[in-house]
Chains A and B, each alone.
Chain A
């Protein structure tokens, strides 16, 4: 890396190298049986340069020809965007409490162990219900990141990830009940019992299909479904959208827009959360800061380039969506602060309403405006404080930036979703529900 950087330094004003090396092993079970085992080895290097004030970028995987890469980066810098920043020298980065994102146990986990884990899971679910179709993927990942730039900034770290995802389906003549659950963490800490008990509860609740009428009604989003409401908020808080003045939140910093029960953090400092790392992908320390505090818009999130254009500091959110892409503002981990109300209490509170557990069509439509409109892929009806069955052919719609004003309660226990989002249950006063005319 150092030698490559020296070569680049000779030709351009300043440069940055980012290298990833990773190994991922998924074990796949299909229709209750072990089907395939994969090994995915990945290696790639990305070069970003600033030459005559302009940005250039090139990347390569495999045995890349660095000369060619450098040439391409220089060519692209000729027409490139004007750089609004200099590469950070992170020499003075404070030595914080060391962040834990690497678990030797994950790295050393044997494929046999993963197979056994999957078989155990499938057997437990089959004991519960004989005719389930179960698809499972258990996956371990190990990666190494190296970074170096002309300003003397450099870092490297190792990271592990372990995840398990389950799709259980109960298939009848003209009905499929599909329940999804997953666990991801940097640590080997899967609680199979918990994963399975949630699936069982959903299967039980979903046994019977019950009718429902269109209209506005109270809804509870489970942690799995909360992203439906948060995705538009995230888009609005993205520094890039704010800089372009296309975020509806662009002028709202410091204003209270939503329920004061609603507090949202970006946090890249949590041990073993999948979005945690000592630095973002361009050498800025990751941190914890509020995006929304008690309903007030507090902060937007930035990478270096967008921060520079805006005239603020990067928030440590410059992340690369793949080695072939330059950093853009992305969330580290996302935390909604827990509330006080247990999920069963929320259910008891509702005379007629629904629980939304899985939606279809996440991110479709005009997120930027706050709008969402989704098929309720798994949802349950509540009548007089009790879950009475599953609803089908139902859609929910609204504008997240409006609906978040009407939070009645937030769950007392948040759950990690995809290893990166820590969300509690979210109970809204009402939401528009559409379904078949009878």
Chain B
């Protein structure tokens, strides 16, 4: 492979400021139960690649499934990049990387037969379906994927990286008359098949939560002091702040740059936010990002002050900052853009009970359906909720969706718990049509004032 890629690059490297080729080979399997029925069992193989060219500041990109005639494709992509060419190319300098990275798995799922995977999933699904008479249906999904990515660029980098991914998700659906409630639990991992063997309690928890939700009232809308558990806290920091630290939407925009100036106060002095793609074996981790840059630990907020952001080589160069190893592509169909890896709030000092104390009427929001952001505004929705009354957890509530504003909500964090947990869920992050990209996130329990909750 190395020979093929480097020779295709060599012939044309004088015609572009920068060239890269990526080839990806992937195999995956999916098994899905719905209710008591096996809904689907399938496998697929994909081979594809892409080429990216930078000519005088303009990018051309081509993606394909047919790997023949790479030279012709390089030519084509240089041609379209030249249509843009109006400025100057800028890429942060990095040392060329040459490495072949294999993954050691704790149970190589490629060697586990389909039958065993099916039976394991079925056993979890049975636990959900038999949990309670009010469980009407379920969805249990097993997915595995093993990709090998071959990467070469015109600066002499050549990388081969193996990328395993495995996920199991459980959805329990409880019903009482017209009242239908859902709860999800999921786990994603890069570590191997052994990790997903002991998930019985998660399956049961999904069922239990769905049944409990049947008794919950819809939350009353309004402004509350909220306490978030570690998962929702993690989603919160990902949505409320993480996306805004991605430099690709502000590096060309003077006004946005002013708004996100390093040194500005963004939170209370106890708040520290980190993105770190170099932690071994987490969902967002890799030794090199998809531009061949080494990943590392990056502080985004330190002691409440904005101190860093996430970069690709281009955004780093244009903002005169250091590349951070955050250029990531979902797969060969997409170009690398600035993405988070593993994002978390550092652990604080406050024990959980203390976070609740003094809250007369608030909401304790746990677990997560999802989150979304458009720069200034963001929302995230809880999978489970309780009212807090006079400092104590009170009755359960449902349909808890929280909403906040970049410029006030981070400053409204009043308490950071001492119980950081990194979450690896089966879902992922979406941006510019690239979804779901595996990421992990985490936080200690958080207490935030003046959060708007939608409701009746």
Interfacial residues, chain A to chain B (CB-CB below 8 A): 30-31, 33-44, 56-65, 68-69, 72, 75-76, 78-81, 111-112, 115, 131, 133, 169, 171, 173-176, 178, 214, 240, 244-248, 323-326, 360-366, 368-369, 371, 373-375, 377, 392-398, 432-437
Interfacial residues, chain B to chain A (CB-CB below 8 A): 28, 34-35, 37-48, 58-67, 76-77, 80-81, 83-84, 86, 114-115, 118, 136-137, 173, 175, 178-182, 218, 221-223, 252-253, 255-256, 259, 333, 335, 369-381, 398-401, 403, 405, 407, 450, 452-456
The residues of B that contact A81 with a CB separation of less than 8 Å are 37-41
In-complex Cβ contact of B455 among A41, A72, A173, A373 (8 A): A373
The residues of A that contact B454 with a CB separation of less than 8 Å are 373-375, 395-397, 432, 434
Provide a sorted-by-A list of 12 A–B residue pairs whose CB atoms are within 8 angstroms.
Answer: A36-B58, A56-B42, A62-B65, A78-B114, A176-B375, A246-B137, A363-B370, A364-B369, A364-B372, A364-B380, A365-B381, A434-B453
Q: How far is the CB of A236 from chain B (nearest CB, A)?
A: 9
Q: Which 10 residue pairs of A and B lie closest in terms of their CB atoms, listed nearest first?
A: A434-B221, A62-B47, A395-B454, A373-B454, A373-B401, A397-B454, A57-B42, A36-B59, A361-B379, A31-B252
Q: How far is the CB of A315 from chain B (nearest CB, A)?
A: 19
Task: Taking A37-B60, A361-B403, A374-B401 as given, write out 12 further A-B residue pairs in contact, using a Cβ cutoff of 8 Å, ordered by the A residue number.
Answer: A35-B58, A39-B61, A39-B62, A41-B66, A169-B375, A244-B35, A247-B180, A362-B372, A368-B173, A397-B218, A398-B456, A435-B452
In-complex Cβ contact of A79 among B86, B114, B376, B407 (8 A): B114
**Nearest residue, chain B, Cβ from A247:** B180
Are the C-beta atoms of A58 and B41 separated by less than 8 Å?
no
In-complex Cβ contact of A366 among B47, B399, B450, B452 (8 A): B399
The residues of A that contact B59 with a CB separation of less than 8 Å are 35-37
Give CA–CA (A176, B258) in the complex, Å: 13
The residues of B that contact A323 with a CB separation of less than 8 Å are 44
Give CA–CA (A373, B407) in the complex, Å: 22
Q: How far is the CB of A270 from chain B (nearest CB, A)?
A: 25
**Nearest residue, chain A, Cβ from B333:** A40
In-complex Cβ contact of A246 among B67, B175, B398 (8 A): B175
Give CA–CA (A178, B41) in the complex, Å: 43
Are the C-beta atoms of A397 and B45 separated by less than 8 Å?
no
Give CA–CA (A116, B216) in the complex, Å: 55
Q: How far is the CB of A360 from chain B (nearest CB, A)?
A: 5
Give CA–CA (A59, B375) in the complex, Å: 38
**Nearest residue, chain B, Cβ from A33:** B252
Give CA–CA (A171, B180) in the complex, Å: 42
Give CA–CA (A72, B113) in the complex, Å: 12
Give CA–CA (A305, B178) in the complex, Å: 26
Give CA–CA (A79, B122) in the complex, Å: 12
Are the C-beta atoms of A393 and B403 separated by less than 8 Å?
yes
Are the C-beta atoms of B452 and A72 separated by less than 8 Å?
no
Give CA–CA (A58, B114) in the complex, Å: 13
Give CA–CA (A371, B401) in the complex, Å: 11
In-complex Cβ contact of A60 among B45, B173, B373, B407 (8 A): B45
The residues of B that contact A63 with a CB separation of less than 8 Å are 47, 65-67
Give CA–CA (A176, B65) in the complex, Å: 40
Are the C-beta atoms of B173 and A246 separated by less than 8 Å?
yes
The residues of A that contact B379 with a CB separation of less than 8 Å are 360-361, 364, 374-375, 395
Are the C-beta atoms of A364 and B39 separated by less than 8 Å?
no
Give CA–CA (A434, B219) in the complex, Å: 12
The residues of A that contact B377 with a CB separation of less than 8 Å are 360, 375, 377, 393
In-complex Cβ contact of A395 among B118, B373, B374, B401 (8 A): B401
**Nearest residue, chain A, Cβ from B38:** A81
Task: Select the residue from A111, A361, A371, A436 with max chain B CB neighbours within 10 A.
Answer: A361
Are the C-beta atoms of B40 and A436 separated by less than 8 Å?
no
**Nearest residue, chain A, Cβ from B81:** A37
Give CA–CA (A361, B253) in the complex, Å: 26
Are the C-beta atoms of A324 and B456 separated by less than 8 Å?
no
The residues of A that contact B181 with a CB separation of less than 8 Å are 366, 369
Give CA–CA (A57, B77) in the complex, Å: 35
Q: How far is the CB of B32 from chain A (nearest CB, A)?
A: 9
Q: How far is the CB of B397 from chain A (nearest CB, A)?
A: 12
**Nearest residue, chain A, Cβ from B34:** A244
Are the C-beta atoms of B61 and A57 separated by less than 8 Å?
no
Are the C-beta atoms of B84 and A35 separated by less than 8 Å?
yes
Are the C-beta atoms of B38 and A80 separated by less than 8 Å?
yes
Are the C-beta atoms of B401 and A39 separated by less than 8 Å?
no
In-complex Cβ contact of A58 among B44, B333, B373 (8 A): B44
Are the C-beta atoms of A79 and B45 separated by less than 8 Å?
no
Q: How far is the CB of B70 from chain A (nearest CB, A)?
A: 13
The residues of B that contact A393 with a CB separation of less than 8 Å are 377, 403, 405, 452
Q: How far is the CB of B450 from chain A (nearest CB, A)?
A: 7
Give CA–CA (A38, B83) in the complex, Å: 12
The residues of B that contact A375 with a CB separation of less than 8 Å are 377-379, 403, 454
In-complex Cβ contact of A397 among B41, B43, B137, B456 (8 A): B456
Q: A38-B62, A57-B42, A178-B375 are in contact. Are A432 and B456 (CB under 8 A)?
A: yes
The residues of B that contact A325 with a CB separation of less than 8 Å are 42
In-complex Cβ contact of B381 among A62, A131, A364 (8 A): A364
In-complex Cβ contact of B252 among A30, A75, A371 (8 A): A30
Are the C-beta atoms of B63 and A39 separated by less than 8 Å?
yes
The residues of B that contact A79 with a CB separation of less than 8 Å are 38, 41, 114-115, 118
The residues of A that contact B453 with a CB separation of less than 8 Å are 395, 434
Task: Select the residue from B42, B58, B378, B452 with max chain A CB neighbours within 10 A.
Answer: B42
The residues of B that contact A175 with a CB separation of less than 8 Å are 376
Are the C-beta atoms of A43 and B173 separated by less than 8 Å?
no
Give CA–CA (A72, B27) in the complex, Å: 11
The residues of A that contact B84 with a CB separation of less than 8 Å are 34-37
Are the C-beta atoms of B252 and A43 separated by less than 8 Å?
no
Give CA–CA (A80, B456) in the complex, Å: 44
Give CA–CA (A60, B47) in the complex, Å: 8
Q: A373-B381, A434-B455 are in contact. Are A245 and B252 (CB under 8 A)?
A: no
The residues of A that contact B378 with a CB separation of less than 8 Å are 360, 375
Q: A62-B48, A245-B136, A360-B374 are in contact. Are A38 and B61 (CB under 8 A)?
A: yes
Q: How far is the CB of B435 from chain A (nearest CB, A)?
A: 12
Give CA–CA (A419, B376) in the complex, Å: 28
Give CA–CA (A73, B296) in the complex, Å: 42
**Nearest residue, chain B, Cβ from A174:** B407
The residues of B that contact A44 with a CB separation of less than 8 Å are 46, 65
Q: How far is the CB of B185 from chain A (nearest CB, A)?
A: 15
Q: A58-B42, A248-B180 are in contact. Are A364 and B370 (CB under 8 A)?
A: yes
Give CA–CA (A393, B376) in the complex, Å: 10
The residues of A that contact B381 with a CB separation of less than 8 Å are 361, 364-365, 373
Are the C-beta atoms of B80 and A37 separated by less than 8 Å?
yes
The residues of B that contact A244 with a CB separation of less than 8 Å are 34-35, 136-137, 173
